[in-house]
Amino acid sequence: WLPKAHVEAPIAGSMVLAAVLLKLGGYGIIRMAPTNISTTLIYPTIAMATWGVIMTGLTCLRKTDLKALIAYSSVSHMGLVASATLIQTPWSTSGAVILMIAHGLTSSMLFCLANMLYERTNTRMLIAMRGMHKAMPLMTSYWLIASLTNLALPPTINLIGEIQIMTTLFNWSPLTIMMTAMGATITAIYSLQMFMTTQQGHLTKDSKETYPAQTRELLIMLLHALPILLLTLNLELIY
């Protein structure tokens, strides 16, 4: 239901759902897992969560709807968070919290960027949004920031959270490194593909009258990018 809710919701609903409500679910797992989940249930749950990271990533590679692609990306990242919170070690819990905060900012930023393109092109199809670098050159910088943080480029807090989760999963079971490494690779591929498809190429006939980014839109992007930068420079703010 989550990708469907993301796609059908208005932009404010998508941003709140990605940035806040998903994190409430992660917080609930952190609070309830020590007492209400037995050891026998943890193994299949983590296996399904790590497998879901790969499956949703592969789904993103085939998506032509930009908003649906971002929604499935959120599901992929939440699979890492769910598997980390179930292990219940201090290292895994802190990694899950860091990734939830990083993903909340990044995913909300991506949904907002997708909505800005939708307002100008009246479509969510990736192929109809190509060449936006020529129409909105300043917004391309924010697209680059959002795409690189989504694929966990060093030294962003997204990478720190993912590395902590991968380390704890590997210590828990060495077999999980295959799932998490493959999921990270697929994430990098579809994030770069999303950026290149929307920004590179020639403008379509319907997009040639696209108006540039407005001040309020740039301010919204700045309010997303600035916390990511500040937390990257000083991660102790989270602790």
Cβ neighbourhood burial of 102 (10 Å; 0-12, 13-18, 19+)? buried
Domain containing residue 13 = 1-238
* Residue-by-residue pLDDT tens, the chain, 239 positions: 777 887 888 888 888 888 888 888 888 888 876 655 666 778 888 889 999 999 999 999 998 888 899 999 988 998 999 898 888 888 888 999 999 999 999 999 999 999 988 888 888 888 888 888 888 888 899 999 999 999 988 888 999 999 999 999 999 889 899 999 999 999 999 999 999 988 887 777 766 667 778 888 899 999 999 999 998 888 776 65
The answer to whether the CB of 160 falls within 8 A of the CB of 197 is no
Q: Is the peptide bond before 155 cis (omega within 30 degrees of 0)?
A: yes
Q: Express each pLDDT in 65-109 by its tens digit.
A: 888 999 999 889 989 998 988 888 888 889 999 999 999 999 999
Nearest CA among 115, 103, 45 for reference residue 74:
103
Alpha helices in 200-239 (DSSP H): 215-233
Lookup: tokens for 68: 């649906």
The number of folded domains in the chain is 1
Distance (Å, rounded) from C-alpha 193 to C-alpha 155? Answer: 21
Tokens of 163: 């590395």
pLDDT tens digits, one per residue of 227-239: 999 988 887 766 5
User: Average model confidence (pLDDT) for the chain?
Assistant: 87
Residue 234 backbone zone (phi > 0: left; psi -120 to 50: alpha; other: beta)? beta
